[in-house]
Structure formats: C-alpha cells, structure tokens
Structure 1
Amino acid sequence: MDGDDYGRLIYLGLLLAAVAGWGLSEYRGRMGQGFRAFLAWGLIVVGLMAGYGLWQDIRHDVMPSQVAHADAVEIPRAADGHYYITLMIDGQPMEFMADTGASGVVLSKADAERLGLNLADLVYAGQSQTANGIVRTARVRLADVTLGPFHDESIGAFVNEGDMEGSLLGMEYLGRYAIEITGDQMILRR
C-alpha cells in the first residue's frame, strides 16, 4: 500500500466513525430499530454494488448485438444512431463504426496496437482529410478478416496518426457487401 491508499483508508475510517457516531446518538435507547435501518441500507448498497458488477453481463441481453446468419449479418443501430460492426481479425474481435462516408478502413492507434502493430515502425506517408482536418496515415494489411460467415485473407487499412475514439469501417470494406438498412438494422450480404 502506498501513501494514497493509507490516506483513503484513514478517510473511510473517519467517515465510518462519523456515521456510526450519528447512528448511536440518533438511535440511543432504540438500538433494535437502528440495527434494522442499518441492515436495510446495507442491503440496498450491496444490491447496487451487485447490479453494477453484473452490468457487463446484463447489457448484452438489454442491448442487442450483431447476429450472423448463413448468408447475412444483421447489425442493430446503437443508441447513438451509428452501426458498430465487430470483425474478427487474426482471431481477435475488433469493433468498428460503419462509416459510409469514409473511403478506407481506418484503425485508431490503440486498435492498431491491440492487433500487434508496432506504431514506431509504421511509415506515416499518407494524408487523409477528416472532419477534424488533415491527418497523417500509415498503410497496413489486415490478414484473416472475418465477419460472420464471410472471410477475407487480406484487407488494406490505414492507421491514423491522430487521436480517434475508435476505428472506422469505410467503403473499401463495406463495398464488398450489399448493404440494406431496414428500420434499426443494417444487413450485410455477399
């Protein structure tokens, strides 16, 4: 434990002592009632903590994800209005935002590193015009790209030198599919 941990421990101890002191003075002579109130609040806090801890499991049931069929992949529209597509690249799942306004597949620096690309070895010789201005790009090849039942041996992509929230899936890849948007779903077929 470092100094910050000791500080937090002291703070929590003082906070607990203050709450316990308040409880003892408030419920003096009525300790049974105070104990029941303490248990009720304790159960509420534990329930909130359990709900927060299980959110990663629950959200997959609450928020739909893409579904692969034998001849198509259905992608639901996210709450922000975009379509997010998960590709398997070299056996690793990577999430992309479908961007029909982008020409190529563009990886963020973080996603490029997740795929094992060494950013220091990339040559940022290209340029791309984005909504945030001109950025430098490095050309790379993505091997073994899979979307549901569809497989490609090699896909060209760019690594963006600028800061990006996530990676983009442009028309260089999306153009390989017949794209249908129905209601809140994007359907990709080959």
Structure 2
Amino acid sequence: MTRFIVIFLLCMGIAPFLPGLLESRMETLGGGASSTAYEEADTGERTYRISRDRSGHFVADAYLNGQPVDMLVDTGASYAVLPQSVAEHIGIFLTESDFKYPAQTANGTVYGARTLIDSLRIGSIRLRNVEAHVLKDASLRTPLLGMSVLNELRRFDMSGGTLVLVQ
C-alpha cells in the first residue's frame, strides 16, 4: 500500500511539468503546424518560417507567458498589441484607468494600456520583457505581432510567400 502512495505522490509531483516536457519533445520531433518551421543554424541563429495563409497574411504560432496565441504579423503596428481578453488569458490584468494611451487604428483613435509580456516564444525564438499595448476587445479582435517584437530580432525578410524571422 505504501508503494502505491509513493507512486501516486510522485505522479502528482511530475504532472505540472508534463505539458512543457511534451511540448519540447514535440518540437524536437519536428511536430507543430505544417505552415511554420523553425531551426537553429550552425551559426547559432534561431530561425522561424511562416507561410502565407489563404487570406495572404502571416500568422505566427506564439506562446505568450506560456500560453498559445495566434498572432497576425503586422509591420505597421509599433508594438505587439493584444485584445484585453487575450491579455487576461496570459495573466495580464489591467484596470480601467490603465487605458489612457491614445492609439491610431484603422477605425480611428482608441485608448490602450501599456504593459510588458514576460516571455514570448515563436518556435525556437525566445524574447523576454516585450513591450506591448492592450486594447479593449471591441477595438481589436486579433493579437498583432508588431515592431516591438520584430525589432528584437537579428533580421526578418519575406520571399516566395514565406516570412523568415531570425534571432
């Protein structure tokens, strides 16, 4: 009976780490979306490739503070921009008074909140303390991967319907 209790306690101790271990193992085996790929070159560069989707956009499979978030790559956005519901999903909680910074959007001026994303991962690319803005859900439906992320990379370029990010 004691053996079963010890095994049970060991399993309970390992359970919280299992998703991260499985995710890293899937990356090692080459799992993931077929429209994206990442690699680490002999130079130590971390590369992530994104194929254009059916609507002509580039959508990155990102992990923000460990949570999966699809982000539309937008070089016209100065910052990574999140809808409030996505910010809350990744652990960023704001008050009404935080929404005091004007932002120009296609639909006019809205007010957003400034914040930092503790960790952002796209394939093998990893960034810390990424500047971001949060807008109310009514003002933004899709998270944007803007220049506050792209400027942290060594380079990014597009050719043949593929966007290549290099860290």
Report if TM-score (shorter chain) is over 0.5.
yes
Name the structure where strand makes up a greater proportion of residues.
2
- Work out whether 1:169 is the aligned partner of 2:139: no
TM-score of the pair, normalised by structure 1: 0.62
TM-score of the pair, normalised by structure 2: 0.70
Residue in 2 that maps onto 1:109 = 84
Q: Please identify runs of 4+ aligned residues in structure 1 that moved more than 2 A.
A: 116-122
Larger Rg: 1
1:134-182 per-position Cα deviation (integer Å, ceiling 9, x unaligned): 0100011111222222222211101012432211111111122211111
1:72-97 per-position Cα deviation (integer Å, ceiling 9, x unaligned): 10001011111001221222111110
Matches within 5 A, 1:1-190: 64-70=34-40, 71-120=46-95, 123-161=98-136, 162-177=138-153, 178-190=155-167
How far the C-alpha of 1:122 sits from its partner, in A, is: 6.0
Contact 1:68 1:148 in 2 (8 A): yes
Name the structure where helix makes up a greater proportion of residues.
1
Helix, strand or coil at the partner of 2:98: coil
Helix, strand or coil at the partner of 1:94: strand
Q: List gaps (5 residues or longer) in structure 2.
A: 1-32, 41-45
Contact 1:127 1:137 in 2 (8 A): yes
User: Identity percentage over the alignment?
Assistant: 29
Structure 2 vs 1, CA of residues 76 and 122 (structure 1 numbering), >3 Å: closer, same or farther?
A: farther
| Distance in 2 between residues matched to 1:171 and 1:118, nearest whole Å | 23
Structure 2 vs 1, CA of residues 128 and 160 (structure 1 numbering), >3 Å: closer, same or farther?
A: same
C-alpha RMSD over aligned residues = 1.7
Number of aligned pairs?
128
| Distance in 1 between residues matched to 2:49 and 2:37, nearest whole Å | 5
Helix, strand or coil at the partner of 1:116: coil
